[in-house]
Amino acid sequence: MKFVDEATIDVAAGNGGSGCISFRREKFIPFGGPNGGDGGRGGHVYVVADRNINTLIDYRYARRHEARNGEAGRGSDQFGHAGEDIILRMPVGTIIRNFETGEVMMELLEHGEQRLLAKGGDGGFGNMHYKSSTNRAPKKKTPGWPGEIFKINLELRVLADVGLLGMPNAGKSTLIAAISNARPKIADYPFTTLHPNLGVVRVGPEKSFVVADIPGLIEGASEGAGLGHYFLRHLQRTRVLLHVVDLAPFDDTDPVAQARAIVNELKIYDQALYDKPRWLVLNKLDMIQPEDRAKKVLEFVRRYGWKGPVFQISALTRQGCEQLVQTIYQHVASMQEHHVEADIRFEMDPHLMASELMAQAGMSYDDDIEALVKPKKDEADKGAVKGAVKKAPAAKKPAAKKVAAKKAATKQPAAEKVVADKPAAKPVVKKAAAKKVAAKTVVAEKAVAKKAAAKKAPAAKKVAVKVAVKKVAAKKVVAKKVVAKKAVAKQVLAKAPAKKAAVKVAAKKAVAKKATAKKVVAKKVVAKKVVAKKVVSKTAARKAPVPAKKVAVKVAAKKAAAKKAVAKKVVAKKAVAKKAPARKAAR
């Protein structure tokens, strides 16, 4: 079967059916009311990816695909039947573009994937749709809506994990036949492969990858040499490229020059394809003596300046192919994405710390966390600290009141006794006072920082507002300039046809004037010749006597000439009369 990877087709969805105007007319049922049904919708156009199809040849000859229109509505509350949908089956990896705009509409990347390409038009409404309590006998219907129509371009890019790249007769087809079940055509002449070949490489149980073999490239392929470079599109979906190089060419060409030419063509076609991971595969080692293989490989790598992975194989004897296959599979498996569906009931990470939760919520702690969290050994000191903290506010009360002074005087001896009995409580009180002072300083620093931030915030806001206003004003000025330029361009375009018409009219007038001037000059010349002939004839007649017969002949000739002159004048007047309206119209 011929391999076709491009096609252009027209797709048209069905139009919707029109609504119906009908009324129920039945014996013994006066004013039956409207019963006209709606029209049916038009048929849709779907596309489905099918892995059993590997070419677009079906769309090379069948270029028009139309879905059926919907049926019109009928009386007796009957709606129209919907149009039948059509399904277009395409190979996996097909890209669908709008032919007119070049926009990518969709890509078919999975087997069985079904997408809506063209939507059918909705059916029109019958008069039953418009009935209401105030409009009981509507005489209105609507036509169906038209379906979508597209002219699309289909492009096939094969889905493969590995792509083979190289010159003709480098051994690409032999390699894909050695590592997979693909059986491409293999011969001893260049350009044996005329279209891409796919092969599935089985590494183990449920372990495989796909290899794509494309026709060979030569220097100048971007300019149309050989089969061109358009087959490189089939390598754009691959994960890694294998650059196959023939170390023992039959025509004694330089392998380094050939490898550089291939890389250059790759860069000319697409920079993204050039940046893909590329491995060097040196083939046909069986045609080199075993003692010279290492030397030749090192010489090629040194001259080529290659620093990436290098594999030495012989596709014919399958030497080194197993190691190459295992390495490729490990690379492809590491690049595959594994999607894990998350449970929407547990969107929050259960291992988040409390501080992270506070930060996500935009909240902060009021006090220092280290001051709030204390070890268990200091539980005894907490009571004394609390007591000191409670006594501190009592000291701040005004001492002017006599009652407070008396209470303080009565309490002092008791306090001195307690202190005398318990000398170990003094360090605790001192620690509490020191902590209290530290807490006050921290609170004061925080208050000062908050005030400074509060003062800075309005100024920053004002500056931001001024900057935003300036930006908006600049945008408005630019928009006004653009509108003015467009208006001037429109005026120029509007005046252009009028100027062209005026130029044409002036040209026509100039041509008409020149024609009339030429005619006047010609008439004057003819008149002068006629006068000259008359003068000559008169002088001759005077000089020589003329017989009577000759005189009669001359008289007859004069009469005929006079008649002709009169006829010419009549014809000229008619011509002038015909041209007069045209001149007026031109003026």
DSSP of 480-529: HHHHHHHHHHHHHHHHHHHHHHHHHHHHHHHHHHHHHHHHHHHHHHHHHH
How far, in Å, CA of 203 to CA of 333, rounded?
A: 12
* In contact, 72 and 20? CB cutoff 8 Å: yes
- Digit-by-digit pLDDT tens for the chain (587 residues) are 456 778 899 999 999 999 999 998 888 888 888 989 999 999 999 999 988 887 888 888 888 999 999 999 988 888 989 999 999 999 888 899 999 888 899 988 888 899 999 999 999 999 888 888 888 889 889 999 999 999 999 988 877 888 888 888 888 888 888 888 878 777 766 677 777 778 888 888 878 888 888 887 777 766 666 566 667 777 877 888 888 988 888 777 888 888 888 888 888 888 888 888 888 888 888 888 888 888 888 888 888 888 888 888 888 888 888 888 888 888 888 876 554 455 555 454 444 455 565 566 566 545 444 444 444 444 445 454 444 444 444 444 444 444 444 444 444 444 444 334 444 444 444 445 555 556 666 666 666 666 666 555 556 666 677 777 777 788 888 888 888 888 877 776 766 666 677 777 777 888 888 888 888 888 888 888 888 877 767 666 565 554 556 667 788 888 888 888 888 888 888 888 877 776 666 65
CATH class of the structural domain 162-335: alpha beta
How far, in Å, CA of 282 to CA of 310, rounded?
A: 7
Going by C-alpha positions, the residue among 224, 21, 209, 235 that lies closest to residue 125 is: 21
* In contact, 311 and 323? CB cutoff 8 Å: yes
Residue in the structure block whose two tokens are 């008791």:
414
What is the helix (H) or strand (E) element at residue 260, kind and residue range? helix 255-269
Going by C-alpha positions, the residue among 236, 202, 413, 199 that lies closest to residue 325 is: 202
pLDDT of residue 351: 45
pLDDT of residue 246: 86
Pairing mode of beta strands 45-50, 6-12 = unpaired
Homologous superfamily of 6-156: GTP1/OBG domain (2.70.210.12)
pLDDT of residue 20: 92
Cα 234 to the center of its chain, rounded Å? 20
* In contact, 385 and 428? CB cutoff 8 Å: yes
User: Which parts of 92-166 are beta strand (E)?
Assistant: 94-98, 104-108, 114-118, 149-156, 162-166
pLDDT of residue 47: 94
Q: Encoding tokens for residue 344?
A: 């929407």
